[in-house]
A = this chain, B = another copy of it.
Amino acid sequence: MKEQVQKTFEALFALEDIREVLREALPTGPDPGEEQAIRAGVARVRAILDDLEAGTGSPSVTKIAGSLGIRNREEEIINIQPIQAAGRLTPEARKALIAYGDGYSTCDACRKPFRLDKITKPPIAAFHEDLARFLNMDVARVVSGARRGFQAVTSTLVGKGDPVIVSALAHYTEFLAVEGAGGAVKEVPVSKQNLVTPDAVAEKIEAVLRETGKTPALAMIDHVDYLFGNVHDVAGIGKVVHQYDIPFLVNGAYTVGVMPVDGKALGADFVVGSGHKSMASPAPSGVIAATAEWAPRVFRTTAMTGDLTHRKFGIKEVEMLGCTLMGANLIAMIASFPTVRERTLRWDEEVKKSNYFIDGLLAIEGTKVLSEYPRKHTLTKVDTTGSFDRVASTHKRRGFFLSDELSRRGIVGEFAGATRTWKLNTFGLSWKKIRYLTEAFQEIAAKYDLPLATGTGPA
């Protein structure tokens, strides 16, 4: 690890050790032994800072709890991993994790009626309203991942044997949510451009009606899919779906938190988003929002009564299992939210950077983009069979030559060993990093005599 990074972590950890002394002290304050420990701790942090500043010193901490390496992927490296890009924390979220890490930290001021989304200190209730507004939906709940949002909806709406419309690009968690409810997925085919179209959805619904005699219980479509990062005409699909009176769930795992999402404009009855995928939040975290029409069903409160005690827990929501995303993850989501909200307004710039890099890659002759092009998203599937894979075919490290070359330049997140079709995500990289990344790929191409198309690369 680079000295500066290593020493930054060591200083953070040494401060946590000081904090632990404070935690052990009585409310009356540290005793003389504890004061001594704090002074020793401060001296240690100062010595670490000297090293941090001078770029000197050898690592004094290499593992947490004896087994966990210190993760430095975002500090030292350009990370183009397809699912990690937009889940990287903001500094504010990292501070929130520090302050609110303890188990039930959100429950300090839990008062009647004792439900997470009603807590006002910290401002959890207000955040729920912000979230609903942000998505232009009526009611929002936080959940432990988008998949829990799918599950809540399928468990509410899908019965045994019910068909559910998904697309041929649906994420596996949608399959599982349907399976858990006892339903059956019915996949809408994609166009030649790998797009899910309203017409194809209509045809599939008709086919399901013919085949099963049942109207699908739910349609669940990915706003942007995980395979190509293509932006589908969800608003058009919403219109079709509603003509059949089918409730419509928009899977915004790749959109909520990175680009503007207007649930009502999309015709969504439910919008589901992922905190750890696209809202700069720790895993697991996510959001499910519903319209006023559907909220009472998916967020229905318990009707169960104890047969003996006659106990009722009337305010608790069945699908949410009561309180949902308690603790640090929720507070980190809240801490990132101002930045997340603001960054969706700068989505055009992210798309520009995505296209700049993809153009630079396409300039390497033989390279293709399998996603829609020009790019409308930062997640892209590329095909380097005609370029880097030609090198791999004769290289002694085979496909790993590319990983080696990238790694040498401080770039990770490509699928190691893959030189044919693979995915990457440029979300959140600064222009400086985008240029560096583009040049790195072109440099590697040049090193292996892959021709660069003139005039097509970045200036």
* Residues of A bordering B, CB below 8 Å: 2, 4-5, 8-9, 11-13, 15-20, 22-24, 26-30, 38-39, 42, 45-46, 49, 52-53, 64-71, 73-78, 81, 83-84, 86-89, 91-108, 121-123, 126, 144-145, 147-148, 151, 155, 168, 170, 172-173, 175-180, 184-189, 275-277, 280-284, 302-304, 306-309, 311, 313, 316, 318-319, 321-322, 324-329, 331-332, 334-338, 409-411, 430, 432-433, 436
Contact = CB atoms under 8 A, between A and B. Distances in A.
16 contacts: A65-B92, A68-B334, A71-B102, A84-B103, A84-B105, A86-B103, A93-B101, A94-B101, A104-B283, A170-B306, A175-B313, A176-B321, A176-B322, A180-B321, A187-B306, A282-B329
Given A71-B99, A89-B102, A187-B306, 13 more contacts: A8-B19, A12-B19, A27-B436, A28-B436, A74-B102, A84-B103, A84-B107, A97-B97, A97-B328, A145-B321, A175-B311, A185-B307, A186-B308
A68 B325 contact: no
Contact of A68 (B42, B66, B81, B335): B335
User: Taking each of A9, A69, A284, A311, which has the highest tally of chain B beta carbons within 10 Å of its own beta carbon?
Assistant: A284
Contact of A168 (B18, B170, B308): B308
Contact of A15 (B8, B77, B87, B321): B8
Contacts of A318: 176, 179-180
Contacts of A326: 145, 276, 283-284
Nearest to A324: B284
